[in-house]
Amino acid sequence: MPEAKRLEDMSLAELRALVARGKPEISPVKRFGSSFWETIDPAPFVKSLVTDFPGTVKGIADAQGALLDRSLSAFKSGDYGNAMGHFVNYMIPFYGPILDKAGDQLSEEDYAGALGTMAGITAQLIAPKIMANRISPKSAVSARLISPKQTAVKVMPPEKVMPPETAIADNPLVKQLIGEIKKAEIVRKVQETRYTQERAKRMAKSLQVGDRVSGEKGYYKELKPLAGELEKVEFENIRSKFSQENIDNLFNQIKSSPNLDFWQKISARRGLAKLFGEFGGAVPQMGELSLLERVFGKELIGVIKDKRSSWEKIKEQGGNVANVPRAVMSSFDFSAPFRQGLLFATRPKQFFPAFKPMFKAFGSEKAFRAIEQDIANRPTYGLMREAKLALTEMDSELGLREERFQSRLADKIPGVRASGRAYTAFLNKLRADVFDDLIRKAEKEGLEPTKNMDLTKQIANFVNVGTGRGHLGALEGGAVFLNATLFSPRLMASRLTVLNPAYYIKAAPFVRKQALYSLFTTAGAGLTVLQLAKMAGGEIGADPRSADFGKVKIGDTRLDFWGGHQQYVRMAAQLISGKYISSVTGREITLGEGYKPLTRRDILYRMIESKEAPVLSLVTTLLGGKDIKGDPISIPKEIADRFIPMAISDIYELAKNDPDLLPAGIGAIFGVGLQTYGEDKQKGFIALLKQLEKRKKKVKSLREILGQKGQ
């Protein structure tokens, strides 16, 4: 009889078989039902909460902390896939341990149990929305007792928002407006004549006043008739086709629209007024048109846009076309949190609650509108607008969108608009929440931010900078053009602002304190992650002159947790030191030395080249004649590469080079930088280094020969 194995000598498969023999077989249906009920059953949690509140809270915290311990343990044992999985679950409040349980069930091949657990999580997420839709207005008090979040949605449920097309179907007045604008002739060529007539009228009024009043007082009286912008005219007057009652009716439709907030109604009516100018109609600005579209529908806006000049049409379409590749490359991920929102990741009360709206906005246009409405219903919304907090939109002019999704043409590609909604929803929710939190803190310190607009504007600017929406200064007027040439100009501006000491010196004390808190806590959190990775056996780039600086390196794969800040620190270190460290070979190169040396100008050019928008980068690649590897260019491949989502491309490279690290691709989906390359990707550069080394040896040998002859 063979000797029985000890438990510690058994393999995992043998242990599972032993456990299976000791318990009855449970059908898949029962395993699914058991896991599902265990996930959604509130009774054990409520009982524990009532009987032992401190112990329950401690248990939740311990369960979350255990995931970090499991992640660290897996790293130490070389199981990087599970390590990343546990770490991602650790970053998800409350649901992390449940997701980890589902992962354990999958590893044990209990597929029915894992499916039941995931179904339970899904049921928990969608149940509040179903309940909110079914709660009547009479039970508002009960709704508040059930969940404060439900009442927040009830303020303006998307179901109450009347689609513009529905309003138009029953509104002959809007149809008449469409018809009259269609028939109106373009009168742009007589614009200067009309300006001359208007100037003559104003001058006559000014002269009449000047004849009656003299001196300083007379001077100011004469200026009044001359004040005001001259009315722009682009098509024939349509005002005469409508009675004043009908015009008032159109204005009132905007004022009573549930699709717009107070400030948007002001802008929309300003746009409508331009259509009914005294001398003729003018095309409203793009932002005003997008608001009018929410009230009157797309057909009216299309007719108005037809009255624009050819140059305006070319500019808009050019921007839409040029930005399509970037929108596609930025799609099919949830990268806003750890890319643009990284600086506020250490404000957990504002950062983590923005995840749920992000996921909901990805799946539903109505959910995205509800998130917009929720922000608009806040008491501080007017303050946000006045302070110029960057609350971006999806249907507005290109400059008011998130810069990665500035293309209406790209919205027609399946998945791109959903990705844009998710990106915008996360950042808007985060900005609004952080802004409200800072306003409350300022009020507690007695700073009165509602009265001190200088302070409030600095708070809004700090929030904008912290979420990748930097101010472009003198280039602000050319934001759309910049966005067509650079991948993310506002993100670049924000990162440079965060790293600029002058920003902190000039900031108000309250804003300086909050900005430094975010900077140092984010840096501390990043260094903690790097230290944990190092303890687990990962390689950490410590030299700021190397591209690997501050990254976790596992084989040929690099993980970058710094949200775009690291690149500028590295560039500064290289420019100041005059040294460059190859991230592939580790060789130190002195800038400006040797045959065809790498110079500081080359370092700057490389940085700018890496920030180019897809279309411009294609042009520069074609002009260079070689790709990044130093190989001849394949034009179809270069074009195709600019229509592949970055997250998918990064994960594909990872799977191709190191499949065991594939779970690390989850980080790329949420905005963690992921690069996989070795000598092959930089073989052109390495070949150049080898040539330089050979030339140095030849020069050295020649010097020795000459020296011997001289003796």
pLDDT in tens, 64-79: 677 767 766 776 676 6
The single-letter DSSP state of residue 674 is E
Give the pLDDT confidence score for residue 148 in this predicted structure: 33
Give the pLDDT confidence score for residue 31 in this predicted structure: 74
> pLDDT higher for 599 or 221?
599
Give the pLDDT confidence score for residue 366 in this predicted structure: 92
Asked if residue 191 and residue 109 are part of one domain, the reply reads no
Asked if residue 328 and residue 304 are part of one domain, the reply reads no
Please report whether residue 595 resides in a domain.
Answer: yes
> pLDDT higher for 150 or 384?
384
Give the pLDDT confidence score for residue 629 in this predicted structure: 66
**For 106-120, 460-474, 566-580, which range has the lowest pLDDT when averaged over its residues?**
106-120
* 341 has a pLDDT exceeding 70: yes
Please name the residue that has the structure tokens 């009547």. Answer: 136
* 153 has a pLDDT exceeding 50: no
Give the pLDDT confidence score for residue 468 in this predicted structure: 92
Domain limit, last residue, from 269, 285, 318: 318
- Give phi and psi for 495, each to the nearest 5: -65, -40
Please report whether residue 602 resides in a domain.
Answer: yes
Asked if residue 607 and residue 504 are part of one domain, the reply reads no
SS (H, E, C) 482-528: HHHHECCHHHHHHHHHHCCHHHHHHCCHHHHHHHHHHHHHHHHHHHH
Asked if residue 465 and residue 350 are part of one domain, the reply reads yes
- Which whole-number Å values give the CA distances from 192 to 195, 197, 252, 309, in the listed order? 5, 9, 33, 15
> What band does 203 get if pLDDT is binned at 50, 70 and 90?
confident
Asked if residue 298 and residue 218 are part of one domain, the reply reads yes
**For 51-60, 240-249, 266-275, 366-375, which range has the lowest pLDDT when averaged over its residues?**
51-60
Mean pLDDT of 38-54: 70
Give the pLDDT confidence score for residue 151 in this predicted structure: 31
Nearest one of 409, 404, 413, 421 to 365, comparing CA atoms: 421
Judged on CB neighbours under 10 Å (0-12, 13-18, 19+), 701 is exposed
d(CA 32, CA 112): 5
| Tens-place pLDDT, residues 672-698 | 988 887 655 444 444 444 555 555 555
Give the pLDDT confidence score for residue 206 in this predicted structure: 75
Give the pLDDT confidence score for residue 348 in this predicted structure: 92
* 447 has a pLDDT exceeding 90: yes
Mean pLDDT in the chain? Answer: 78
Asked if residue 370 and residue 308 are part of one domain, the reply reads no
| Tens-place pLDDT, residues 239-264 | 888 888 888 988 998 888 877 778 78
* 467 has a pLDDT exceeding 90: yes
Domain limit, last residue, from 473, 504, 520: 520
**For 6-10, 236-240, 288-292, 643-647, which range has the lowest pLDDT when averaged over its residues?**
6-10
Give the pLDDT confidence score for residue 78 in this predicted structure: 66
Q: Which residues of 530-540 are buried (b: 16+ CB within 10 A; e: fewer)?
A: bebbeebebee
Asked if residue 387 and residue 312 are part of one domain, the reply reads no
* 507 has a pLDDT exceeding 90: yes
Give the pLDDT confidence score for residue 310 in this predicted structure: 79
Please report whether residue 504 resides in a domain.
Answer: yes
Please report whether residue 20 resides in a domain.
Answer: no
Mean pLDDT of 551-577: 90
> What band does 135 get if pLDDT is binned at 50, 70 and 90?
very low
Please report whether residue 701 resides in a domain.
Answer: no
Please report whether residue 403 resides in a domain.
Answer: yes
Give the pLDDT confidence score for residue 228 in this predicted structure: 64
Nearest one of 328, 334, 369 to 354, comparing CA atoms: 334
> What band does 16 get if pLDDT is binned at 50, 70 and 90?
low
Please report whether residue 545 resides in a domain.
Answer: no
Asked if residue 448 and residue 379 are part of one domain, the reply reads yes
Mean pLDDT of 317-338: 88
> pLDDT higher for 656 or 578?
578
| DSSP string computed for 173-235 | HHHHHHHHHHHPPB-GGGHHHHHHHHHHHHHHHHHHHHHH--HHHHHHHHHGGG-SPPPP--B
Please report whether residue 532 resides in a domain.
Answer: no
Asked if residue 182 and residue 124 are part of one domain, the reply reads no
For the chain, the straight-line distance linking the first and the last C-alpha, in angstroms and rounded, comes to: 89
* 356 has a pLDDT exceeding 90: yes
d(CA 87, CA 72): 8
> pLDDT higher for 189 or 619?
619
Of all helices (H) and strands (E), which one includes residue 581? strand 579-581
Domain limit, last residue, from 474, 498, 520: 520
Asked if residue 247 and residue 119 are part of one domain, the reply reads no
d(CA 105, CA 138): 44
Mean pLDDT of 188-193: 58
Asked if residue 225 and residue 98 are part of one domain, the reply reads no
Nearest one of 235, 331, 192 to 669, comparing CA atoms: 331
* 351 has a pLDDT exceeding 90: yes
> CA 166, 167, 173, 177 torsion: positive or negative?
negative
Give the pLDDT confidence score for residue 154 in this predicted structure: 32
* 41 has a pLDDT exceeding 90: no
pLDDT > 90 fraction of the chain, expressed in percent and rounded = 22
Give the max Cα distance, the chain. 127
pTM: 0.66
| DSSP string computed for 122-180 | HHHHHHHHHHHHH--GGGHHHHHHH-HHHHHHHTS-GGGSPPHHHHHHT-HHHHHHHHH
Give the pLDDT confidence score for residue 208 in this predicted structure: 77
Range of the domain at 307: 164-318
Name, of 52-61, 81-90, 356-365, 592-601, the range with top average pLDDT.
356-365
> What band does 453 get if pLDDT is binned at 50, 70 and 90?
very high
> pLDDT higher for 265 or 683?
265
- Give phi and psi for 529, each to the nearest 5: -60, -45
Asked if residue 490 and residue 606 are part of one domain, the reply reads no
Number of domains in the chain: 4
> What band does 518 get if pLDDT is binned at 50, 70 and 90?
very high
Give the pLDDT confidence score for residue 511 in this predicted structure: 94
